[in-house]
Amino acid sequence: MGTLGDFAGLWDPEPGWLNTASYGLPPKPAWDALQAALADWRVGATSWEPWDKSTTRARESFARLVGADAGDVFVGSTVSAALAPIAAALPDGAKVLTDDVEFTSDVFPWQVHADRGVEVVAVPGDELVAAIRPGFDLVAVSAVQSSTGAVLDLAAVVAASKEIGALVVIDASQALGWLPLRVDGVDALVTHTYKWLMSPRGATIGYLSPRLQERCRPSAAGWYAGAEVHDSYYGTRMVLADGARKFDQSPAWFSFVGAAPALELVEQIGVETIHQHNLELANEFRAGLGLPPGDSAIVSTPLPGAQEAFASAGIRAAVRDGKLRASFHIYTTLADVHQALTALKPLL
């Protein structure tokens, strides 16, 4: 691990980028790797196998970040597609609990099974743990909420779910890369890497517990899910890989070419270091708005006129559910925070 100052030169953002919750900015090693692969692709300089080595690197880096065995990690392209086999494995009449502001990619995969009697119940986030009671088969929720930045009490969710035998499925897309996370007690943890892991869109990685692997059918299995991918191109002979790799979807090569060095850089810097940096800046921003300190790298607050004020000042943030959403990451500086607060000062 190092200090953020040791790595500052790996990004060159235009001042005022406060929107990592929408997409992260690539560090130089990821950008350079992607440009090299694109240059090779343009002229046909290589086969695809060298690009695919990045998929293995990203899988292994993700496993280390969340404390999983790489054999329990699968790759894909989207969170909703990654959740589909889990939803299909639910029994008829199953009951799923989620947050009432949950991102729809974590809701629709269960809801499309309504014709089988699968029911999705949504409650306010601060009531979620108390709502985990007998009758629920699965709890599906984000580690950090996209619209509000609310951080889940994952340990409490796991403990309450274990008491009733419910599965726990976590979307870490707004968390992994700045919030320390482990898969202990979790049945599935899935993340897209294009936000806080600063990768090209198209690289999703997930953990499946051994008990969940046994329950699920790899319904999207193709050649890349084969035990030996080069022997799985043609015909009806199917020998799927062991472990979670049988749930692999054929990877978007260039997305993983960019993802592998980005994930490895997060490891090198250290999530705890990133976490401290992000919270310091987020709380500086909160203080400037007259808000109490928080525990999230995402700040969400109703502030009429904020979007227009930011646009005039060249600040790039987002509005979600009618609220200003600003997000802070490795490459965010104190100057970015003060620039944003200056833009908002007439509204306060």
Q: Which residues pair with 121 in a beta bridge?
A: 97
Locus of tokens 């959740």: 83
The per-residue pLDDT for 2 is: 56
CATH class of 41-267: alpha beta
Give the span between the Cα atoms of 79 and 182, in whole angstroms.
18
The strand pair at 138-142 and 188-192 is best described as: unpaired
Question: Would you say the CATH fold of 41-267 matches that of 4-26+270-347?
Answer: no
Q: Report H helices in the chain.
A: 28-43, 49-66, 79-89, 108-111, 128-131, 154-164, 210-215, 253-269, 271-288, 306-313, 334-344
What is the pLDDT, as a whole number, of residue 321?
82
pLDDT value at position 26? Answer: 98
Domain 4-26+270-347: assigned CATH number: 3.90.1150.10
Q: Which of 15, 38, 35 is nearest to 26 (CA)?
A: 35
Task: Please give the pLDDT value at position 142.
Answer: 98
- What angle is formed at CA 4 by the lines to CA 153 and CA 24, rounded to 5 degrees? 65
- By DSSP bridging, strand 204-208 and strand 73-76 are antiparallel
- CA distance linking residue 87 with residue 106, whole number of Å: 10
The parts of the chain modelled with pLDDT lower than 70 are 1-2
* Token output for 334: 């104190």
Give the model confidence (pLDDT) of 87-138 as tens digits: 999 999 999 999 999 999 999 999 999 999 999 999 999 999 999 999 999 9
Given this model, what pLDDT does residue 319 score?
87
Tell me which residue of 7, 172, 166 sits closest to 86, measured CA to CA: 166
Q: What is the pLDDT of residue 239?
A: 98
> Per-domain residue ranges for the chain?
4-26+270-347, 41-267
pLDDT for position 338: 97
pTM as predicted: 0.96
